[in-house]
Amino acid sequence: MPSLDSITFDTTGLIPQGDINGVRVWLTSDGDSVSLYYFPMVPDILADINSLESVSTFYGNMIAEAKNITGISIGTMDMDSCKFVKMIIKAPQQPSGMSYLGSLTLPFRDFSFVVKMQCSERGLTGMRESLIVDELLEKGEIRIDKSGKFEGWARTSVLPHSASWIINKAEAVEYDGRFPNHPLSILRRTFDQIESSIKVSEEVKKEPKFSYPKNGG
């Protein structure tokens, strides 16, 4: 029978907190959380997880309906012979800074698992963006228009429903190495560790696979 024990991954560097209200929780040394969820119900994913276009549109619509959320990335990936949906989004903090939330979703016909991580900016916020802005202005890769807004700063995704998947240039993965303590860098690095080590029990792999509910809209 599926349970939280059906999914394992490398937790090196994470501090176990045990199972809290049915959720298995770990913390980083900075207090960011990694959580493993098991949902014993039919997944509410109205998308074909074998199609990036379908997944991007479905989750893009959800982001568009939410307030103050922007998509960083969305994709599907095969891990341990299972199809996962990987998503990273961001939301503004009060009074300043950003929180980044990543999810790895593994749906089956009758249940699903989700690994989530939330990383928040702490202390002096916006340093990554500020430094990259200065560099790109000096290189002429971005400019300030007459209204004081940056031109060329936002990177609109080529994904369907692209209005939901817009990041600024400082959030590009190539800058993670320069800013290893930035929450987005931490999230991506931790997910790399999880993705390279995740294992799904053979019992669960035999369960009926998730299929796109074509009559679901």
| pLDDT per position as a tens digit, 72-91 | 999 999 999 999 999 999 99
117-169 pLDDT per residue, tens: 999 998 788 889 999 999 999 998 888 887 878 887 887 665 655 667 878 88
Which is more confident, 151 or 206? 206
Contact between residue 33 and residue 41 where contact means Cβ atoms under 8 Å apart: no
Prediction pTM value: 0.90
63-77 pLDDT per residue, tens: 988 878 999 999 999
Contact between residue 187 and residue 100 where contact means Cβ atoms under 8 Å apart: yes
Sign of the torsion formed by the C-alpha atoms of 195, 33, 179 and 106: positive
Sheet holding 82-92, edge to edge: 15-20, 23-27, 33-39, 112-120, 98-107, 82-92, 70-79
Q: In this predicted structure, what is the pLDDT of residue 173?
A: 93
For the chain, list the domains and their CATH numbers.
4-123+179-210 (3.40.1000.10)
24-40 pLDDT per residue, tens: 999 999 899 999 999 99
Strands 98-107, 112-120: pairing kind: antiparallel
pLDDT band at 212 (very low <50, low <70, confident <90, very high): confident
